[in-house]
Amino acid sequence: MLRNYFITALRSLRRNTVFSIIHVLSLAIGLSAALVIFLIARHEFSYDRFLPEGDRLYRVAFDNQFNGHTGHMTAVPLPLPTAVQQQIPGVELVVPVLACAGDMALRVSIPSVHTGAVTTTGTQPGIIYTTADYFTLVPFEWLAGSATVLRQPYTTVLTESRAKLYFPGVPFADILGREVIYNDSIQTSIAGIVKDLQKHTDFTAVEFISYKTLSQMIQREDRRLDSWNNWSENSKAYLRLHAAHDPVTVARQITDLVTQHNEGANRTSNYTITARLQPLADIHFNPIYAGGQRTASRPALYALLGVAGFLLLLGCVNFINLSTAQAARRTKEIGIRKTIGGQRGQIVRQFLLETLSITTLAMIVSLVLAPFLLRVFADFIPVSVGLFINVPTVVYAAGLTLVVSILAGFYPALVLSGVRPAQVLRGRLGAGMTHTTRLRKVLTVSQFMISQFFIIAAVVVSRQVDFSLHQDLGYRQEAILNFELPPGVRANQTGFINSLQAMAGVERVSSGFIPPAFGRSLLTQVSRPGARKDDMLSVQLRFGDANYIPLYGIQLIAGQNIREVQGMAEVAINETCARALGYAEVEHAIGQELIMVGDTHVVVVGIMKDFYQRSTHRRIDPMVLKGERGDYIHVALRAQQPGGTAWPETIRQIEAGFHAQYPQADFSFTFFDESIASFYQEELQTARMLTWATGLSILISCMGLLGLVIYTAEIRRKEIGIRKVLGASITSLIASLSREFVLLVLLAFILAVPIAWYATDRWLESFQYKAPVHVGMFLASGAFLLAVAMVTLSFQTIRAAHGNPVDSLRSE
């Protein structure tokens, strides 16, 4: 029997080739989206799931309030982990981690055991100071040595890949005892080698130096290990609690420790630091405490899941519409089968098997489309995600195929199996199915509601992103690159800057601090003379030489440019800062003295026009720009012709000059405009996702509309013939066939607008500065979808209106 069902299904697919292709393509779009989203979600939600006792693992984090500004960090003072271990009950494991990154990056040298020659590999990523308990937290497989080796100072553990990098071709057993030298002064001995982690994890360190080495170094350098005022994002602490202990209670006790040892914290409401324990499951998804590491966005993942669900739903609805549209052609077949003894259950199974065959073909097509969609959604997908054929993927694909087959095929199977043979064999092709017309209309309206929602959302999001990126931000963005000099090299800076300025492709060079817009808040405090300490104003801090303001094109509305001068430093402040300091007329701040933190006195020489210091999500803060050099170099490049090579050549010259001046340092730069664009990375991803979702949903919806108009034309075939015989024009026939569908699309627009308006308005709430949203945007979106629908309708309505009435009335 199953064989007969299968043969009949194949014959039906061959007999209705066009409809079968439409079925397969519409389902394949939804299935491929669902498959890709499954791969993304499975990848992201698998992070650190392999860690033992993961439900009791936490990272120490802090929330701070400083004169009205809220901050979040995972930095911990160096003495905190030891204090937690010794003074807070209920903590089973404390793992301190100090990452050797940024200004703490270590230069690695490997001495030869034969010649004594030292090979320098430069600074390497993934180096940390930690204790032996790190390997209890993260279960590495040991290839040589054991975790206990990190209990001694000046010992190092390498991963397999790092050992092969430093000692190519040397057996692991022979690597033990070899030396690794950091920054030409920290001599350590390799005491263990572990296998590289093959799991998805945020614990990405590959080189581990014993924490006691850090203690010995600090003592040797006459520095204090017990400073509670040093908050570096490189310093973190991980805890594992006993099962019965409450993380909220432990976090409160950590807050008490900070209050006890930090002189300024939690003494007044102007400066508070509150600890919290961040669960392991939250680390990969919480951008507030990202600390520079990659995080996945739960809202973005949920949005992707929603897109996949909607596209899959549209595919199923489309299948139902097209299947019922075909029903008029198959009613005689069903009537004859029932007349000769066919049972309704047999007919239902037959049509479900046909649906399963179509869905299986659609799944095969979706596997072909999946790599393309992986590229489409590349912004949401880590590099390591790919279309891997493994057991979970195969099980998911098979289950999805079965579920979609039931959802898409069950209703059409019930409708078709419910045909009454007597009425069908009398020539009434639509008998038994007229009650489904209303449902098909509801499904079509639902399809176009979803499409209309996506169109409006895509327009609003794209407009806001364009507004954020292309409005006048108050400074020059294009053709500026930024890079840092190695720490402690101020003496060589002037000559290096002069060499850069002499390059033909360089327009201007400035030395200072970070650029005008930066991803994080970097604050200090200022006040007017005589103000109370508690009344000091929190401001964004920048500093630079005399070239900083002209290089970035920052407009001065009063006063003059800053200079590096002896004695009292000169500063420029923005309009917001001048008003916040109490100057009703901002020009009145010129020449006035201000006091900065540390009792540093400065004089205001210029007023800058307000500009955006971060994304348009944030308000413009008070800002102070101090006349002083720094380790950041800002280089404005001269304009180049489109497609020219002047910029790459100039950058190569800058890099060569950098290495000539600082041979031991790594050169890394960023373009300022790319840094600005990174502020809106999530919005750019959302806009791209909505664009693709809009296109795919319109495509599927139009297939559904085409199915419905085919069904209607089939049912009204004789009516059209009679109207033509009675003299109806082609235009009136097209209008008669199209009117109902146009009304359905307009109804979908009316229903979608309030939903889309509410959703986009909520999304825009996170922006301090917004692009205006007006009625015309909604009307244009509706007009666009209506035009697409009219084009789709025209394929069938024009054909039906031009049909020969003799063909439709031949049997009368």
Q: Could you report the per-residue pLDDT of 59-85, keeping only the tens digit for each?
A: 999 988 765 667 788 888 889 999 999
545 in the same domain as 427: no
Looking at residue 693, its pLDDT comes to 82
Which pLDDT does position 2 carry in this prediction? 60
Q: Virtual CA dihedral for 203, 208, 211, 213, nearest 10 degrees?
A: -160
Calculate mean pLDDT across residues 293-298: 77
Q: Is residue 764 part of a domain?
A: no
pLDDT given at position 220: 44
Vertex 569: Cα angle to 568 and 573 (nearest 5): 130
Q: Examine residue 31 and state whether it is found in any structural domain, yes or no.
A: yes
In a domain, 749, yes or no: no
- Provide the pLDDT for residue 228: 79
Least confident of 545-559, 726-740, 798-812: 798-812
Please tell me whether residues 120 and 233 are part of one structural domain: yes
Q: 488: pLDDT confidence band, cut at 50, 70 and 90?
A: low
On the question of pLDDT at 385 being above 60, the answer is: no
Share of the chain above pLDDT 70, in %: 86
Asked whether the beta carbons of 721 and 468 are under 8 A apart, the reply is no
pTM: 0.73
59 & 42 share domain: no
pLDDT greater than 50 at residue 161? yes
How does pLDDT run across 176-205, given as a tens digit for each residue? 999 999 888 889 999 999 999 988 899 999
Boundary residue ending a domain (407, 432, 457):
432
209 and 193 in a single domain? The answer is: yes
pLDDT of residue 272: 83
Do 87 and 212 lie in one domain? The reply is: yes
Name the residue with higher pLDDT: 435 or 111: 111
Q: Which of 105-114, 306-315, 586-595, 720-729 has the lowest mean pLDDT?
A: 720-729
Q: Is the pLDDT at 54 greater than 70, yes or no?
A: yes
Domain check: are 88 and 192 in the same one? yes
**Would residue 456 count as lying in a domain?**
no
* Alpha carbon separation from 517 to 611, 629, 635 (Å, rounded): 9, 18, 15
pLDDT tens string 439-451? 778 888 888 898 8
pLDDT band, residue 809 (cuts 50/70/90): low
> Are 61 and 196 members of one domain?
yes
Residue range 472-476: mean pLDDT, rounded = 87
The pLDDT tens digits of the residues spanning 523-551 come to 788 888 877 766 678 888 898 999 999 99
3 state SS for 69-138: EEEEECCCCCCHHHHHHHHCCCEEEEEEEEECCHHHCCEEEEECCCCCCEEEEEECCCEEEECCCHHHHC
Q: In 3-state terms, what secondary structure has residue 330?
A: helix
Of 228, 260, 289, which residue sits at a domain end? 289
- State mean pLDDT over 578-601: 88
104 falls within a domain: yes
pLDDT tens digits, 600-634: 889 999 999 999 887 777 788 899 999 988 888 99
Beta strands in 160-296 (DSSP E): 179-182, 186-194, 207-210, 235-241, 271-279
Do 504 and 640 have their domain in common? yes
Question: Is residue 163 domain-resident?
Answer: yes
Radius of gyration of the chain (CA): 34
Residue 4's alpha-carbon distances to 8, 338, 343, 353, 417, in angstroms, are: 6, 16, 15, 11, 17
The total of structural domains in the chain comes to: 3
- Please tell me the predicted confidence (pLDDT) of residue 16: 67
604 and 581, same domain (yes or no): yes
- Where is pLDDT greater, at 471 or 173? 173
Q: Are residues 29 and 101 in the same domain?
A: no
Residues 31 and 59 in one domain: no
Write out pLDDT tens, residues 732-757: 877 887 888 889 899 999 999 999 99
328-376 confidence digits (pLDDT tens): 566 667 777 767 766 777 778 878 888 888 888 888 888 888 877 777 6
Position 116 pLDDT exceeds 60: yes
Which pLDDT score, from 0 to 100, does residue 377 have? 65
- Per-residue pLDDT at 500 exceeds 90: yes
Supply the pLDDT for residue 533: 66
Q: How far apart are CA 492 and CA 269, in angstroms?
A: 44
Domain boundary among 257, 289, 321: 289
E runs forming strands in 124-234: 127-130, 142-144, 155-159, 179-182, 186-194, 207-210
pLDDT at position 791: 86
Quote the mean pLDDT of the chain: 83
Q: Is residue 177 domain-resident? A: yes
pLDDT for the residue 207: 95
Highest mean predicted confidence (pLDDT) among 103-107, 492-496, 646-650: 646-650
Expressed as residue numbers, the domain containing 9 is 1-47+330-432
Which among 759, 743, 749 is positioned nearest to 782, based on CA atoms? 749
Residue 565 pLDDT: 81
Q: How confident is the model at residue 558 (pLDDT cuts 50, 70, 90)?
A: very high
Is residue 204 a contact partner of residue 134, using CB atoms and an 8 Å limit? Answer: no
Q: Please report whether residue 319 resides in a domain.
A: no
Same domain, 30 and 73: no
Above 90 in pLDDT, residue 216?
A: no
Q: Is the pLDDT of residue 221 over 50?
A: no
Per-residue pLDDT, 248: 92
